[in-house]
Amino acid sequence: MKIGKLTIIGLGLMGGSLAKALKAASAVDQVWATGRRSASLEKGLELGVIDHWSLDLAEAVKGADVVLVATPTLIAEQILADLQPLLDDHMVVTDVASVKGNIQQAAERVFGQVPPRMVLGHPIAGSEQSGVEAARAELFKDHRVILTPLPQNDPAAVQLVRDMWQCAGAEVVDMPVAEHDAVLAATSHLPHVLAYTLVDALAANGSAKDIFRFAAGGFRDFTRIASSDPTMWHDIVLANQDAILSGLDDFSTHLEYVRKCIADGDGAAIKQVFERAKSARDEHFLGQYLATRKPD
């Protein structure tokens, strides 16, 4: 697979990493980028992540084989509206948004339905760092990319997007839109909400200085994701509001149960919760590790 021209709208960690990965795999001839400000675009050119940039969307996407929308989630609808008169029958549009339902709905409002050559996708990879300076070619290696193809999608467009991510080193899987958003709410969005909330609560504590000073490795590991881009996660939380609220309600019920067990001094029940959690995590993650580990 070889992409002649890839255009990235919103050059940052995700788009920049994809550009570097495809370049390293000799899977793209030229990479263009566009956005609202020139600073990140100039930096991307300086670092060799992209080959050309323009603040003019029409110039940036002209003749593109693939257009990657990598902007904040809540402005995606405006981006799609701006793209509408510029699309042709050759161009494939895809995205990297963490929430797929709102992108689907935005496309339906703009186009009437998701266009056949618009393939919704989400790479399950990232970093608490952001910006094109943090881009790295190996970001997607051995990580999953979820595509959420729709019945009207052109199979050739879906295959092109699949091939693109595989060239970047990713494992590509398909999933319905609603299932994607529910799964990501539980496994990614809810943990970020909890991490941000815990750090914020502790920071408001009168002993916050000592709390952070003597924090052990477990605290640092759990709260690492609270260093992620607040604007991006603000957008994600609002875009996937219903699924996240459902997850928060379920977690709150479970947390209240554990609180009651502690208050009652019910050691057996507490131990059961901890053992179930350890077993579930070990079964999944250890099994996953053993399944993917290369032989010595």
Determine the Cα–Cα distance for residues 67 and 90; give it in Å rounded to an integer: 11
Is residue 294 very low, low, confident or very high in pLDDT (cuts 50, 70, 90)? very low
Binning the chain into helix, strand and coil, the percentages to the nearest 5 are 60, 10, 30
Yes or no: say if 78 and 50 are a contact pair by the CB < 8 Å rule.
no
pTM of the model: 0.81
Residue scoring higher pLDDT (254 or 216): 254
- pLDDT per position as a tens digit, 237-248: 998 899 899 999
- pLDDT per position as a tens digit, 17-57: 999 999 999 999 999 999 988 999 999 999 999 999 999 99
Determine the Cα–Cα distance for residues 100 and 184; give it in Å rounded to an integer: 10
Residue 288's pLDDT is what?
A: 54
- pLDDT per position as a tens digit, 158-215: 999 999 999 999 999 999 999 999 998 988 899 999 999 988 988 887 666 777 776 6
- pLDDT per position as a tens digit, 47-89: 999 999 999 999 999 999 999 999 988 888 999 999 999 999 9
- pLDDT per position as a tens digit, 262-282: 999 999 999 999 999 999 888
* DSSP code for 175: -
- pLDDT per position as a tens digit, 86-140: 999 999 999 999 999 999 999 999 999 999 999 999 999 876 677 898 999 999 9
